A and B are shown apart, each in its own frame.
Chain A
Amino acid sequence: MKSEQDIFTAIDSIHMPDMDKEFVRQKIVQTYKDEEENAINSHTEANKNQNSAARKRHIPFPRYVLAAALALFFVGIPITTYAAIHFQWFSLFFGNATEQQSVLKELSEYMNTEETITETEEYKITVKGNLYSSDQQLGLIVCSIVIKEDNDDYFDVVNHKKERYLSKAGETTLPKIGSPLVSFLYLNKDTTTTLYYDGETSEDGGYLCGLRYNADSAPDKLTLIRSYGDTKRTILAEISIPKSADMPAATFSNKQLTDTTITLSPLGITFHNMGSGKQQLFYDNTSDGTSIRNTTKLVLPDKKIAIADISTSSLIEDISTFDSYQIYQEFDELVNIQDVAAIQVDSTTGNNAITFQPE
């Protein structure tokens, strides 16, 4: 006989073990203790600052003004001039400095202007464009998603061929615009990866998302799915994707390592080796794809950019044969490849740096 009472009794049989209870209790006490220590430390720091300020000699007003003016003249002006030249502040007034801040504007340099829009009472999805690097066989679909209905269902936007969780909505789980939705995205090395452009929304207020794909998973449409729990899922819409626009790419090589080439596009970087394997690159422990990714830098005229700093967390490493390999690494911001003078691959020990020059 199964009744409401049985459900009560069954649930009642779940108890938190005493040891776990005590553990969490200690954690709560510790959190308060840490907070108290932080408060004391900041109070002490404030007192120190106050005391040190009090110890300073009082400077009569006219001398103070004179000292400040001289400091501004002799120190401030040279620093400001140097910074203005170094960081190209003049472009703020004479150039298009704000363009760098907008992912959409960056993308529009490469994308088709064609958009596809799918809208119902619950959601609106706009596919802004579709970029593809044929040299690398990497692609990027940019779309904006507005979830209109406030409920506790989950929405998944998935690549038609390789399913990836992209975005969700819910009364308390929907992240505010500007908060890093990327933490909710799951990246997988052998399929599509996704990205949320933190801090930027589309003109209709939607989340701006990038849906990555490679040649094997190139989609002809996206699918919007509503999820109920673990199992039940309803397909709400299928969204067509504009035809892809081709991205430029550049190839880099090193005369000593004739079997290795690096292809660079604004979307990502690809290492190809068709010779004696990745051991050819280094003789120390920099032999796996992650280590190579972590020690690679783009050399620009005025600075070096570490690949790890501009990459998605997903590394796609494809060892196709015994003695050859390919590594793809996608960027989470578009890289202007024309600015890249060389690519430098350091070893993890720093002893075997190799520079690849553009062909």
Chain B
Amino acid sequence: MFVRTQDETLKLYETYCDMVYRICFLYLKNQQDAKDAVQETFLRLIKHPKKFENEAHAKSWLIVTASNYCKDVLKSFWHHKQVDGESFPLTEFSSNKDVPSNQELLDEVLYAVMRLPDQYKTIIYLYYYEGYQLGEIANILHVNPSTLRSRFAKAKSILRKTLQEDTL
């Protein structure tokens, strides 16, 4: 039997499915694969044999599991189905009903994030979207803090270069 009840799992799903979807989408760059990745992540959650200490622990586990799964998928894509992020319009991957007025700018920013090397995407997502501090991100991703700081700096530098902007 599973260690979590259906209600517990569904509660986590309702709370974090959008978060997991965003991470998966940043990696996989299309809706179908992102949906499959969300499904796989939560199926792994169901089968995960340990209880989480608290909600933050569950959230961290979901972030790491989703990222790792996406990396695995990308590896299998390597030879078969290399997806070019630039070929997707925003409407392809977003179902946001309230399309903001500065759509082009957001497209450009999103493309820039999606084009980052894989190891930087989760860091950028956690820092800018989830609002984690670098130390917390290092804990979540089990990465040495100094390594994480240098990766973050590198990611920012790539973003700055891509967006030709100095405000980041």
Contact = CB atoms under 8 A, between A and B. Distances in A.
A10 B78 contact: no
The interface residues of chain B, by DSSP majority, are classed as helix
Given A28-B42, A35-B2, A232-B117, A173 B72 contact: yes
Interface string A50-87: 00000000000000000000000000000000000000
Contact of B168 (A4, A28, A184): A4
Contact of A230 (B17, B74, B95, B167): B74
Contact of A14 (B25, B42, B100, B163): B25
Nearest to A153: B119
B62 interface: no
Contact of B128 (A7, A14, A29, A230): A7
Nearest to B167: A3
A24 B64 contact: no
A188 B79 contact: yes
5 contacts: A2-B105, A7-B129, A7-B159, A14-B96, A17-B31
A28 B6 contact: yes
B167 to A, nearest CB: 5
B142 A10 contact: no
Interface residues of B, number: 62
Interface residues of A, number: 47
A323 interface: no
A24 B39 contact: yes
B152 interface: no
A148 interface: no
B9 to A, nearest CB: 6
B110 interface: yes
B21 to A, nearest CB: 4
A3 B99 CA distance: 19
Contacts of B168: 2-4, 7
A90 interface: no
Contacts of B52: none
B76 A24 contact: no
A7 B113 contact: yes
A11 B31 contact: no
A18 B78 CA distance: 30
B57 interface: no
Contacts of A35: 1-2
A168 B116 contact: no
A303 interface: no
A25 interface: yes
A218 B22 CA distance: 43
Interface in A217-237: 228-232
A4 to B, nearest CB: 6
A173 B71 contact: yes
A145 B76 CA distance: 21
Contact of B105 (A6, A153, A172): A6
A15 B21 contact: yes
A151 B138 CA distance: 12
Contacts of A4: 128, 167-168
Given A11-B110, A11-B113, A230-B117, A29 B124 contact: no
Contacts of A154: 71, 75
Nearest to B45: A28
A9 B21 contact: no
B43 A27 contact: yes
